[in-house]
Amino acid sequence: MIRTWLLFTAGALGLVACQQAHAQDMSVSGVLIDGAGWQLVGQGYKFTEGPAVDLQGQVYFTDIPNNRIHKIGLDDQVTVFADNTAGTNGLMFGPDGLLYGCRNGDRRIVTYDKQAQVQTVVEDLNSNDLVVTGNGGVYVTDPPGGKVWYINKQREKRVVAEGLKPNGVILWPDQGTLVVTDSAEPILWTFRVERDGSLSQKDRYYGPLQLPAGGGGPGSDGMTVDTLGRLYVTTRVGLQMFDPTGRLGGTILKPQPGALSNVCFGGPELDTLYVTAGDKVYKRRVQSRGVRYPAAN
Amino acid sequence: MLAEWTMFRTGRSLIMKTMLAGCALASLTNVTYAADDYVLGPDSQVQPGVPQGTVTKHTWKSEKVYPGTERDYWIYVPKQYDGSQPASVMVFQDGGAYVNPEGQFRSTIVFDNLIHKKEMPVTIGIFLNPGVIPATEPNAKPRQNRSFEYDSLGDQYARFLLEEILPEVGRTYKLTDQASQRAICGISSGGICAWTVAWERPDAFSKVLSHVGSFTNIRGGHVYHALIRKTERKPIRVFLQDGSGDLDNVHGSWPLANQEMAAALKFAKYDYRFEFGDGGHNGKHGGALLPESLRWLWRNDDAR
């Protein structure tokens, strides 16, 4: 009886309740922990990018000009994982346990295994950042070409979006929606993911981003998502957090002036934000949790 | 909430007030009641002898302005519409809430009553829900387009109405193409949406009704009061309703934002009216005021 009544009430009041829920906010106060600020993890790099978390919660990142990939152990010790990485930029672990990388110096998408042995996934494309689906498909941004590529499990590549200036790329936790940053736009492009990996229904769903007061674009770059569907995007003014309906919930301050290029959740519980910020890497414990993409049916 | 002593206001019923106060009244003018206890008046009730219009439900899939979105919408056609002349048009956002005959607004009942009394013209109501983009896989979340459509500044939603919805409804019904005979209404984000449509296309919509409008920084709408002051006045008639108990959150303060809007509209000499009550973020006050706000919006227009 109670259940029936609740269902009836929910139906009758649904629309108004829906409006009220939409009008409520998801602010950064629901993400940050009082007293838990940014902590320096590593420094002395030239330009850090591509943070990616493995199954244990260890975070890998690239130092692009120095052609290295580093690993942050669970004890916060930073070691060199790979050398001579040919300008490898964006990274992410796939469901096969391999570390996928945008090896832009030789125009390849590659995987690194645990011994940092390199295998080519596809070649002959520019790349900046990538996201690997739970089924092993890969979306890759190609800023010079103004394209987004999709690589299927058979390792065939094709263009799935054009006519934008893509930079970072991420999937929603359920992988049904793909989001792409555009360094020239104060919004994030949003697409529906089709079964064959195609992208459809492009629109300016997230926005507007906060812009630097002195002028210029947002400088939006790498992104990550949490279990509640909130999206975090690195920008010139800081780490901007959006709710699942595309509304800015607030900006988390940068750990230091200068570049903020990318972000991921790390640690065994995926409850720590890691950001790449120019010559350094920082982390910060938060209330939210990162996601791993499950394999679809 | 603070109790208050007051005279009656528009939309409040003496009988209901008395009941709410527990029938323990010392006098008719010293009535104690809680805030936000607005109730619907007779123009929001079905009245005997008043012709009732028809309401039909439809769905719309956008392929042009909001590609991939799907939504329900309802069309209200007053009994007095005979197709001999173009009908006036009023578009409601979150249409499901406004069209509900048992909801906080009961718009179609109000239309029946006001059109019958010739206090507003023969008007076709279009009640639109926000769009949803279903995900490809059933276990994935749809993209809820409400905030994107309603809170965004710019002309995209106006184009959606002018290029998709009005032509579609116009295939069946003869609709006016005069801005002076087109009104638009919404609650919360739908309220700022209604304003944005008229602000972008005053040549197409001239009357705005906003209930607890989100003139806050959800997607930059907090700038409107500043824009209104520094932009040549546009031919828009606007009725704003808000309450002291409305939201105050990361996007802004709704009561302050609506007061800023009202002050800017006054400064720029707009044809505006602002009703600021003691309600919260809901349609109670706006619903109680709906007959009066429609009379005010449609005044001096020919009631056919």
Worst-scoring range by mean pLDDT, A249-263, B13-27, B50-64, B240-254? B13-27
Residue B173: exposure state from Cβ atoms within 10 A (0-12, 13-18, ≥19)? middle
With a cut of 90, say whether residue A16 has pLDDT above it.
Answer: no
Q: DSSP label at A294?
A: P
pLDDT tens digits, one per residue of A67-126:
999 999 999 999 999 999 999 999 999 999 999 999 999 999 999 999 999 999 999 999
Tell me the sheet residues that pair with A189: A180
Residue B149: exposure state from Cβ atoms within 10 A (0-12, 13-18, ≥19)? buried
Please state, in angstroms and as integers, the Cα–Cα distance from residue B192 to each residue in A161, A287, B91, B282, following that order. 32, 33, 13, 15
Q: Report pLDDT for B35.
A: 85
∠B152-B153-B154 over CA atoms, to 5°?
A: 120
**Chain A CB within 8 Å of residue B253 CB:** no
Q: Report pLDDT for B22.
A: 39
Q: How does residue B19 score in pLDDT terms, banded at 50, 70 and 90? A: very low
Q: Does residue A24 or residue A19 have the better pLDDT?
A: A24
Q: How does residue A183 score in pLDDT terms, banded at 50, 70 and 90? A: confident
Q: Report pLDDT for B31.
A: 52
Q: Report pLDDT for A146.
A: 97
Mean pLDDT over each residue of chain B, to the nearest integer: 90
pTM for the model: 0.89
CA-to-CA distance for B151 and B165, rounded, in angstroms?
A: 19
Q: How does residue B26 score in pLDDT terms, banded at 50, 70 and 90? A: very low
Partners of A26 on chain B (C-beta within 8 Å) are: 250
Q: Report pLDDT for B33.
A: 59
Q: Report pLDDT for B211.
A: 98
With a cut of 60, say whether residue A178 has pLDDT above it.
Answer: yes
Average pLDDT estimate for B232-245: 98
Q: Are A174 and B135 in contact (CB under 8 A)?
A: yes
Average pLDDT estimate for A167-185: 96
CA-to-CA distance for A209 and B96, rounded, in angstroms?
A: 31
Q: Which residues of A touch chain B, with CB atoms under 8 Å apart?
A: 12, 15-16, 19-20, 22-27, 29, 172, 174-177, 190, 192-195, 200-205, 207-208, 229, 244-250, 296-297
End-to-end CA gap in chain B = 45
Of A26, A193, A247, the CB nearest to B219: A247
CB within 8 Å: A177 and B146: no
A135 Rama class: left (phi>0) / alpha (psi -120 to 50) / beta: alpha
Q: How does residue A51 score in pLDDT terms, banded at 50, 70 and 90? A: very high
Q: Report pLDDT for A297.
A: 52
Average pLDDT estimate for B211-222: 98
Tell me if residue A21 falls in helix, strand or coil.
helix
Q: Does residue A28 or residue B28 have the better pLDDT?
A: A28
**Chain A CB within 8 Å of residue B242 CB:** no
Partners of B151 on chain A (C-beta within 8 Å) are: 247
With a cut of 50, say whether residue A5 has pLDDT above it.
Answer: no
Q: Report pLDDT for A19.
A: 43
Q: How does residue B301 score in pLDDT terms, banded at 50, 70 and 90? A: low
Please state, in angstroms and as integers, the Cα–Cα distance from residue B146 to each residue in B35, B49, B130, B162, B281, following that order. 29, 38, 5, 18, 17
Partners of B57 on chain A (C-beta within 8 Å) are: none
| Percent of the residues in chain B that have a pLDDT greater than 90, as a whole number | 87
Tokens of residue B10, six digits: 């528009």
Average pLDDT estimate for A152-165: 97
Mutate which: B63, B100, B106, B136, vs A, most A CBs within 10 A? B136
CA-to-CA distance for A279 and A230, rounded, in angstroms?
A: 27
With a cut of 50, say whether residue A10 has pLDDT above it.
Answer: no
A vs B, Cβ pairs < 8 A, gives 108
pLDDT tens digits, one per residue of B255-281:
999 999 999 999 999 999 999 999 999
How many CB atoms are located within 10 Å of the residue B70 CB? 16
- Could you give all domains of chain A from N- to C-terminal order, each with its CATH number? 3-285 (2.120.10.30)
Partners of A247 on chain B (C-beta within 8 Å) are: 147, 151, 218-219, 251
End-to-end CA gap in chain A = 36
Q: DSSP label at B44?
A: G
CA-to-CA distance for B211 and B198, rounded, in angstroms?
A: 15
Tell me the sheet residues that pair with A151: A138, A157
Name the CA dihedral angle for B173, B57, A247, B67, rounded to a multiple of 10 degrees.
-70
With a cut of 50, say whether residue B291 has pLDDT above it.
Answer: yes
CB within 8 Å: A245 and B148: yes
Q: Does residue B34 or residue A33 have the better pLDDT?
A: A33
Q: Report pLDDT for B120.
A: 97
Min Cα separation B143/chain A (Å): 8
Min Cα separation B35/chain A (Å): 18
**Complex ipTM value:** 0.88
CB within 8 Å: B103 and A190: no
Q: How does residue B17 score in pLDDT terms, banded at 50, 70 and 90? A: very low
pLDDT tens digits, one per residue of A114-147:
999 999 999 999 999 999 999 999 999 999 999 9
Min Cα separation B253/chain A (Å): 12
Q: Does residue A4 or residue A202 have the better pLDDT?
A: A202
Partners of A174 on chain B (C-beta within 8 Å) are: 135, 137, 139-141
Q: How does residue A294 score in pLDDT terms, banded at 50, 70 and 90? A: confident
